[in-house]
Amino acid sequence: MAIELRGLEGKKVLITGAAKGQGFSHAKAFAEAGCDVALLDITHPVDPDIYDVATEEMLAAAVAAIEERGRTAVPLPCDVRDEDEVAAAVGKALAEFGGVIDIVVNNAGVAALDTVHGMRSNVLHAVIDTNLKGAMFVTKYAVDNMIGRRSGKIINISSAVTGSGNAMLSHYVASKHGINGLTTSWAMELAEFNINVNAICPATIKPGEGQGSGMVLGLSKVMGMDPDEAFETFSAAGNMPGDKWRPEPRHITDAVLFLASDNAEMITGAIIPVDCGQMSR
């Protein structure tokens, strides 16, 4: 008997970092599963020293992709570092969705390369404020409706770097350890309201132009490498040996949809690696 993901049809989903990369992959898959999607993403540069993220055009294209799949899309241009912007964006999503957000995917994130002794203060703030505080702000304003309905799913995107040592990424690694801490703390706090909170720890994702994953594209410039070479450098250093272990956004999307479905109703507080074995090395 085939096993299908249950309970996704008609759900209202809020995804951060939804205009490109993993977030865009998740958004399309949720729409294909019958969900309406609020797409939250920044549409201006994060910081002069951080690689390019989404644009207004990418957010519009993401909205069109959801609508092409026959579902409602709510564009939410928003900088997750700004609590007031987050409050307004989540409020708009709730208004469009009749006061309901069933699923939150805290996906927005950036990375950078800095030594400890040479760490740029602006980059430190950009990484921590986006990756960690952004997830806290979004959840703060989205979770009340879940508590009131005694139902909801929160899925945080962490990283496989939380299971290994990584030079020149200490701000990024610290932010993702923080995400793991939020996950277990929120799972405990929200359990009485029947809300599931889990995290996924991806390995480095294959780079892609346009609305593909941009983290390696950005870091490769600092490394003085072609993006594919940089991807291979990260992957070979962390993943299990062999050509198979090279993830794309769809591999993370599969785990996100599973955790969002009723199939995972008894899973909460879990930190789940989709990491090509990196955290077990």
pLDDT tens for 157-186 read 999 999 988 899 999 999 999 999 999 999
Distance of CA 150 to the CA centre of its chain: 24
The arithmetic mean of pLDDT across residues 214-224, rounded, is 94
pLDDT at 273 over 90: yes
Tell me the pLDDT tens digit for each residue of 69-94. Answer: 999 999 999 999 999 999 999 999 99
Which pTM value belongs to this model? 0.97
**Within 10 Å of residue 132's Cβ, how many Cβ atoms?**
21
Could you give phi then psi for residue 84, rounded to 5 degrees? -65, -40
What is the reported pLDDT for 1?
58
172, 186, 231, 234: which one is catalytic? 172
Q: Does 141 participate in catalysis according to the annotation?
A: no
Using CA atoms, how far apart are residues 167 and 219, in angstroms rounded to an integer?
A: 14
Domain 12-265 has CATH 3.40.50.720: yes
pLDDT at 228 over 70: yes
Reported confidence tier of residue 241, pLDDT bands at 50, 70, 90:
very high
The arithmetic mean of pLDDT across residues 34-47, rounded, is 97
Could you give phi then psi for residue 125, rounded to 5 degrees? -65, -40
Reported confidence tier of residue 121, pLDDT bands at 50, 70, 90:
very high
Could you give phi then psi for residue 257, rounded to 5 degrees? -65, -35
The arithmetic mean of pLDDT across residues 225-233, rounded, is 95
Q: Which helix (H) or strand (E) holds 238?
A: helix 227-238
What is the reported pLDDT for 2?
67
Using CA atoms, how far apart are residues 123 and 207, in angstroms rounded to an integer?
A: 21
